[in-house]
Amino acid sequence: MKKTESDIHIAIAFDEGYVIPVYVFLTSLFANNSACKITVHAIATGVSHSEKEGLQQFAFKHNAQIIFYTIGPELTANFPLPDRPGAYITLATYYRLFFPQLIDQNISRLIYIDVDTLIVGDLITLYDSLLGGKVIAAVKEAEMEPRPDIDFANLNDYFNAGVLLIDLLEWRAQDITKQALDIITTYGERLKYHDQDALNLVFRGSWQRVDNRFNLMKAYIPHDLPRRAFDNYLHDKVIIHYNGALKPWHRACENKFRYLYSKYLLQSPMASNKHYVKKKITMQGARRLIFIRTLEIYFNYPEVARFWRNFKRLASR
């Protein structure tokens, strides 16, 4: 499905706490997709009008546009969970389900992307991927525990919903949003991963698999990958996903490619803002972080590894 102007439609959803990461995300997107005409479809809760205008102006400078949408009562009248401040699960958790109803009905294809990501390659390679007759394409979830709570037996068929290539025509024709809302009604707060669980139950393995270079979660990154091999490893990657609770704007981030967030932050209009956001870490988390950072030193510096091997050999005599 080649487009003469390489048009790409992307959807994102975020709140006021993610404005800086969104600027960094957009900076990486525009830097690595300058040959494409990009339209970003966005739902932003708690974000001021002036902040939205700033984002739109930033996109305009890069031959792109951002269109903001509001979730109206006509879409949420039958939402099956209470939408109230402080609720464990609210409507905002499920915003990605509504994009097919919100955007122009003539748009036939969309990439939904979580904003805790960086775009480090050419998105057209994903946008033009064959869907094989499926409604969505996605990457298999890298880390998932057994899910008897939602009667999901085969975790090899469970995808991560942080990056989704969507056939909008089929989504609308099959009324996937309604199917997902029906599942939310049935399972309620048992949906630990919210709309990701709901969509996995809708599709139950009937989705097109794409390579993890389009949604590179931390569990897919080799633990023994040294810093000197990063460039070679990343040469064909497209989307880095900082999944998990610790993001690259937290000092305790575990992802090997956390440094790329700093790179794009410095290129963004938010360069003067603080890099790190405070986040408490448990004692168990601190021990894990020390272990991970020690492993990084071990693999990044061969001389340290050689010293350690020699030390262990001498100590064992």
Same domain, 205 and 288: no
Q: Please report whether residue 293 resides in a domain.
A: yes
Q: Which residues contact 52 (CB under 8 A, 6 or more apart)?
A: 44, 66, 68
Q: In the prediction, which pLDDT does 3 show? A: 42
Same domain, 91 and 183: yes
77-101 pLDDT tens trace: 666 655 555 444 556 678 899 999 9
Same domain, 147 and 286: no
Burial class of residue 202 in the structure, from the number of CB atoms within 10 Å of its CB (0-12 exposed, 13-18 middle, 19+ buried): buried
Number of domains the chain contains = 2
Q: In the prediction, which pLDDT does 303 show? A: 64
Same domain, 313 and 208: no
Q: Please report whether residue 271 resides in a domain.
A: no
Q: In the prediction, which pLDDT does 9 show? A: 98
C-beta contacts of 174-181 below 8 A and 24+ residues apart: 174/135, 176/97, 176/100, 176/135, 176/202, 177/97, 177/98, 177/100, 177/101, 180/94, 180/97, 181/78, 181/79, 181/80, 181/97
Q: In the prediction, which pLDDT does 306 show? A: 62
| Backbone conformation region of residue 85, classed left if phi is above 0, alpha if psi is from -120 to 50, else beta | beta
Q: Please report whether residue 226 resides in a domain.
A: no
202-242 pLDDT tens trace: 999 899 999 999 999 999 999 999 999 999 999 999 999 99
| Low-confidence stretches of the chain (pLDDT beneath 50) | 1-5, 86-88
Nearest Cα to 80, choosing from 161, 198, 196? 198
Residue 294 lies in domain: 280-317
Instruction: Give the whole-angstrom CA distance, residue 27 versus residue 269.
Output: 9
Domain CATH for 195: 3.90.550.10
The whole-chain average pLDDT of the chain stands at 88
